[in-house]
Amino acid sequence: MSTKQDSLLSNSKAVRSLESLQHRGEFIERHIGPDQAGIQSMLDELGLESLDRLIEKTVPAAIALNRALDLPAAMNEETALAKLKAMAGSNQSSRSFIGLGYYDTYTPNVILRNVLENPGWYTAYTPYQPEISQGRLESLLNYQQMVLDLTAMELANASLLDEATAAAEGMALAKRVSKNRNANKFFVDAGCFPQTIDVIKTRAENFGFELVIGGFDQVDKSELFGAIFQYPSMLGDVTDLSEAVEQLHSHKAIAIVAADLMSLTLLKPPGEMGADVVLGSTQRFGVPMGYGGPHAAYFATRDDYKRAVPGRIIGVSKDARDKQAYRMALQTREQHIRREKANSNICTAQVLLANIAAFYAMYHGPTGLRRIASRIHRLTQILAIGLQSKGIKLDNETYFDTLTLAVSEDEAMQIVERAGAANINLRLDRIASHQTIGVSLDECTSEAEIAALWQVIIGKESASLSVAYIDKQIETGAVGSVVPTKLERKTAYMTHPVFNRFHSETDMMRYLKRLENKDISLTHSMIALGSCTMKLNAAAEMIPVTWPDFSKPHPFTPVDQMQGYQKMIQELEHMLEEITGFDAVSMQPNSGAQGEYAGLLAIRKYLDGSGETQRNICLIPTSAHGTNPASAQMIGMKVVLVACDDDGNIDIADLRSKAEEHSEALAALMITYPSTHGVYEEAVKDICQVIHDLGG
């Protein structure tokens, strides 16, 4: 018997505690990877005796945390998953017909299993190295083509963070490219989603733009550099925007349309109305709502504006062997190259979700998407006819999937009460001077749910209504279309073979595997690049993502129905507060770049509230990630660069000189911690003190 076998046998006979026997497969040991022998081998190579000594060498004593963190005891995977399962179970399983850009959807199982739950897709790094990213780049090119076809535009990017921030990016593009140079007003149609309006308000304030929100007929077009409309509108209206677009163009302003992609399989696309920018969410293309995200937004525009587009654009080249190759194109627009002069601070932008949306479109194909959209629209029409037959008035005469019901205050309260009893969530709004109830249907809506909605809205009188009877009336032409003929889609879309080949599970599975095998992810090797992307998520962390109690809730579900989500968010906030040493933490930013923007916005508001509105200088080291200066300029701050030494550390003498030079206007210093070079600044406390001493 070998010495190693003797050792194993000896260890197996040793008396051990029950606790040590229970703690099998500790999360950290399995997730991080190296065992004690591997750790010791690396320490020996460095000439160090312990991990503690390594930390002492790499983390300056001045910033070392000299206290134990007050955090809950660590859990093994089974216990953590059980706790999350209990939290998920605390969420009330209601059916939401709220809409506003978020809709229930079916994620095809072949995509769920082979993409969303597959580390070959979710652990790959952002595609800065195209030679090891050809699979994802091909999929993103398909995504762009899907968007181009459905919107009838000329160019699309490879996704943004969400519809609201995409709309804000559209406003910024409009200002860059509008020929109405002296205009500083941007029009937002009142029919846009409320969260979109809120984000645009924040961005406009910090860009110094004046917003006009309301009806297009009441605005002076000559004062506008751009305008945005929702299609269909928040109320559900399907409106021909051609005339509005023409009026904007006559004043050299930019026309932006936030459009529902699913509706564009049936409705005239904005590109055919002359729109300059079309944007929106791809969430309903197979991506669960997840209480608000993440979801990929799309952004399409005219070829003339390609150098003003935010985010990434995937293009096609020929490699050294004259073979087709995919790569990121026009990168000189982006933050990692142009920094404070970049079009946007957007970086990777929900690529995994964009790929899922592209695969959803490919799996269903143009015929399948049209069938899904037609069914949604048919059910909406059946619901509307039934309601109108019982005296319910609609605020919108035309619609795709959304109805806005004009009701009295008393009727609204009765409807809400019946909806609550039926575990149904509707949208309660006040439009102008009257109360309304909003209902939006989706891919998952059933005939039984139409009957349930009738009962909730009408009450006992709904018993006489029949889905099958009304459906037959529509089918035979006894009831006409609610969409004007001129707004029906006449043009083909998604005609490329890639959208018409992979409709069986086997074909789709093989295509997904071919793409996956063209990339390097953690399933192949380590990835020696640093990032805040998803590459380190463990399997146990991914499992709860697809649980229905976490994946299905609508973001505007009443808070009292989402106690599990609320508890999880609050516990995470408290842990992050303890770890970071801050008094409060926000989970709202949708990316690191948005977190930077939110942080700078907090600084801006604090300074304004202190009467120091003149402070607008943000010091940023030359070694900083490109999003840092890009975020600063988006908040309206002026970037002043601070030199770094040969090792990437901040040159403190230059920092002090720049800070003193701009002392009256100094607002903030933004650094990466540890630095982009992976090093902790030894003098970080002194660095921060320089800024504080001068009022920043």
Indicate if the pLDDT at residue 333 is higher than 70. no
Instruction: Give tens-digit pLDDT for 17-40.
Output: 776 666 655 777 777 778 889 999
Residue among 357, 356, 355, 335 at smallest CA distance from 346: 335
Cβ-based neighbours of 555, under 8 Å, separated by 6 or more = 102, 289, 291, 292, 293
Residue identified by tokens 């697809």 is 546
- Give pLDDT, residue 22: 66
Return the pLDDT at 524.
87
Hey, what are 286's tokens? Answer: 């197979």
276-329: per-residue pLDDT in tens?
999 999 999 999 999 998 999 999 999 999 989 998 899 999 888 888 999 988
pLDDT for the residue numbered 645? 86
**Residue 274 near residue 255, CB atoms below 8 Å:** yes
475-529 residue pLDDT tens = 999 888 899 999 999 999 999 999 999 999 999 999 999 999 999 988 888 777 6
Which pLDDT score, from 0 to 100, does residue 1 have? Answer: 47
Bridge partner residues of 562 (DSSP)? 91
Q: Express each pLDDT in 39-78 by its tens digit.
A: 999 999 999 999 999 988 888 888 888 889 999 988 888 8
* Residue 372 reports pLDDT greater than 50: yes
Residue 367 half-sphere exposure toward CB, CA atoms < 13 A:
4
Q: What is the mean pLDDT of residues 450-469?
A: 97
Is the CA virtual torsion 114, 118, 122, 125 positive or negative? negative
Band (434; pLDDT cuts 50, 70, 90): confident
- pLDDT at residue 23 in the model: 62
Greater model confidence, 5 or 627: 627
Residues 589 and 608: beta-carbon distance below 8 Å: no
232 vs 671: which has the higher pLDDT: 232
pLDDT at residue number 455:
98
The residue assigned the tokens 């320490």 is 43
pLDDT digits (tens, 9 = 90+) for 197-212: 999 999 999 999 999 9
Q: Which domains does the chain have, with CATH numbers?
A: 3-58 (no CATH), 119-362 (3.40.640.10), 591-693 (3.40.640.10)
Lowest pLDDT segment from 67-76, 344-353, 667-676: 344-353
Between CA 287 and CA 283 the distance in angstroms is 5
Which of 628 and 209 is assigned the larger pLDDT? 209
* C-beta of residue 299 within 8 angstroms of C-beta of residue 279: yes
Residue 388: is its pLDDT beyond 90? yes
Chain Cα centroid distance, residue 515: 23
Q: What are phi and psi of 318, to 5 degrees?
A: -110, 135
**Rg of the chain taking only CA atoms, in angstroms:** 28
Q: pLDDT class for 386, splitting at 50, 70, 90? A: very high
Question: pLDDT at position 535, please?
Answer: 58
Angle separating helix axes 505-516 and 134-151, nearest 10 degrees: 130
Long-range contacts of 601-609 (CB under 8 A, 24+ apart): 601/202, 601/206, 601/635, 603/667, 603/668, 604/206, 604/635, 604/636, 604/637, 604/667, 607/667
Is the torsion defined by CA of 258, 262, 268, 274 positive or negative? positive
What percent of the chain is predicted at pLDDT more than 90?
A: 75
| 198 contact partners, CB below 8 Å, separation of at least 6 | 164
| DSSP string for residues in 233-289 | -TT------HHHHHHHHHTTPEEEEEE-TGGGGTBPPGGGGT-SEEEEE-TTTT---
> 236: which 2 tokens?
């559900």
CA proximity to 131, closest of 321, 298, 306, 313? 321
In this predicted structure, what is the pLDDT of residue 8? 47
Average pLDDT, the chain: 92
Banded pLDDT at 532 (limits 50, 70, 90): low
Q: Which residues pair with 278 in a beta bridge?
A: 257, 300
Higher pLDDT, 366 or 685: 366
Query: What is the pTM for the complete model shown?
Result: 0.93
CB 170 within 8 A of CB 310: no
Banded pLDDT at 14 (limits 50, 70, 90): low
Q: How many residues would you count in the chain? A: 696
Residue pLDDT, tens place only, 238-262:
999 999 999 999 999 999 999 999 9
Residue 647 DSSP class: T
Residue 185 has pLDDT above 70, yes or no: yes
What's the Cα-to-Cα distance from 395 to each of 404, 449, 493, rounded to whole Å?
5, 22, 31
Per-residue pLDDT, 340: 61
* Distance between CA atoms of residues 237 and 233, nearest Å: 5
Element (H, E) at 324: strand 324-329
Q: What is the pLDDT of residue 530?
A: 60
- Is the pLDDT at 6 greater than 70? The verdict is no
- pLDDT tens, 129-151? 888 999 999 999 999 999 999 99
